[in-house]
Chain A
């Protein structure tokens, strides 16, 4: 095995991949939330569609999109690999475990939260991204995503699934944001406070912003 493969397949290397792909996906969340928040202009989707068109057709963005898909796949595959290895590391479980005395439940449940987000992602992409790209591929035309949002978010169950997805994302980020820096070796009293503050703020702001989108459409605040 070369030094490179050895490094990336070691326990620390697997965590490095988790950390880097996680931070990459965090940067994606910023872009995704910003562009989707254009619906709050409440201008019949004009600003949103303008930026949606840019994101859907610009060649640089479309190339980066391949990187994004790879980033998701790597984060998911590495997560499953780590979860399996971690389960195997303790073949006989404890009969009594008082883990709440030493750690937070969401820190211990990243695999579960990640799986919930993955299920949400399948539902979410089959609502918007997959039909839009399929249509673009077949006809060269983009779908009216704004109108699709207005239609899809009339269903209370869909809205509830999206809100539940945002909760999963909140807990996942609350541990993941800070954890990504720790895995990179960035843990020091000089900046721990700053990372913690930004991490908590990010974990709240992004999911709340996302959750407000289906909620606002359902209640007719955005139309």
Chain B
């Protein structure tokens, strides 16, 4: 059988993967550098009987996919920094009402309009803390097209497994980069289907009562079970409640269902980490440069390793701590002012041995940039 090999943009890979995962509904609003995702969806979705909607803004885009998800369809939106900011309230609603959906944020330089056509990684913290109130969130990323495919499918799988919105943080550099991708055969990557209730018609169905394994079977709007969905604290029927026991139970559930499964959700790649005495930690486009440097220095006998994070939230604390403990020092490589650095320092036993190699000028960080910082840390001078 011929392999399905394409030479396409990262944004297009995301589209291929979403369709592979069973996407049926997309709503979005044009914004650089994510627009290609909407354009491709407008073309591809109707051909398979799916729906593409261009909404009046990013707020309504996230609202529309949330509504579509409740009728039993896998749904997604894609945006970039400013649009992601607009989505924050609706994101909190999807968290609270436990509605699976995928939000792609192709990151650009911020704040505000910032650098629409340049790469940035400044939305890591917004993905985690952007919406108000305590909550947990899943955010994934990837540095190359094969992994963008994989992580997009994983995003849909996690959304269904944990009944939650999942954020896919891509960046302008990988989103617009063209490289080879082999589209996996159907079935090669397992897909998580919507878990639907087995409760029969006429019997009381509890949409917000977790099973023993923590999962909550759903019932589609339009099916027999009619229930209430709200952004207020609510009981097992979805009815609003301010009973302290119910409020406490729900917030614990919303946080625990994700934080307690952080090991299941953690995705990462280790490149030459085993015997490394200096470790780089990176993700997304920055990890491409970090990997290049590692391969380059390895060929010269330097024991440099790279821990490439693909799950950014919940932050893989144990994996990062262990990796940092086994090296002389660690350098976090990213295109922001140290958003993941902060998390690595919190995770590490010796935060004073964690350093930052970053670029915040809209240019992709290069292997030379990283090497120069390594030399400074090692006292070799630039």
Partners in one complex: no
